[in-house]
Amino acid sequence: MTPQAVGRLAGIWRYPVKSMGAEPLEHADASWHGLAGDRRWAFVRGDVPRSGFPWLTIRERPEMGRYRPFFGDPARPDASPTIVRSPAGGDRDVVDPTLAAELGEGVRVIKQDTGVFDTMPLALITTQSIAGIAALVGKELDVLRFRPNLLVEAVSDDAFPEEAWVGRVLRIGALRMRVDQRDKRCVLVNVDPATTQRDPAILRAIARERESCLGVYGSTVLPGPVAVGDAVVLES
C-alpha cells in the first residue's frame, strides 16, 4: 500500500494549563510528550475524589475555559514563565497562590514535564467530524469545544474519516504520529468555550450516534515540527 494524502492541517492548539483556554499556533514542535508546552500545568481539586481523577476541570468550573494561559517566551515554552490572563483581564504567573485560591478552596497547581494527559498526548479531529455532530444537533459548533491539538481538513467526503486511521501512522510535516484509538467523550463537550453555557444535546448525540467517541488520540512515532497547511499523509 502506497502512502496516501488524506488531508491538510487546518489548525493547531496547545493548552499550557489543563482545562484552561487554548493557545492557537501557526506552527509547533511535537516531541514524545505531545506539542511543546501542552498541558504541562494542572490544578488539583481541594476535595480530591476517590475516583483517582484529581484534576480541576471545566466539568466542575466551566469558567476555567475563559482563563488564557500563555508563555513568556512562546518559542521556548518549557523554559519560560507560564502566565495566565483571567477573564477580568489581569495577568498572573500560574504559580501565584491567588490564582489557585480564585479557582476554589484548597485548589493547588502542579507541573508535570511530560504533560498531564487523560489518555494520550496528541488529540486530533477532522472538520468533517465536527460538521457531522453539528448537523445532528442543528447548530454550529466551535472546534474548541472538543479541545484538539490538531484539526485536519480531510479530502474524503466520508463522515468521521479519522476513525478509519486508527492503527495507522500519519505524517504531518516532519511529525509521524500513530493513531492509537478513538477519543471517548465526556460532559466537557457540552460546555460552550465562549459562553460557558451547557448543552447536554452535544454529548447525547455523540453517545447515540458514535458510541460516545469523536476524534482520535495518538502518540508520537517520530518527533518533528508541524505547521498549519501541512499535508496529512497516511503512511503505508
Distances (CA, A) of 128 to 84, 181, 202: 32, 18, 16
Whole-model pTM: value is 0.95
CATH fold for domain 4-234: M1 Pyruvate Kinase; Domain 3 (2.40.33)
- Where the chain has pLDDT below 70, the residues are 1, 49-52
- Model confidence pLDDT, tens digit, residues 151-186: 999 999 899 999 999 999 999 999 999 999 999 999
Q: What is the pLDDT of residue 48?
A: 72
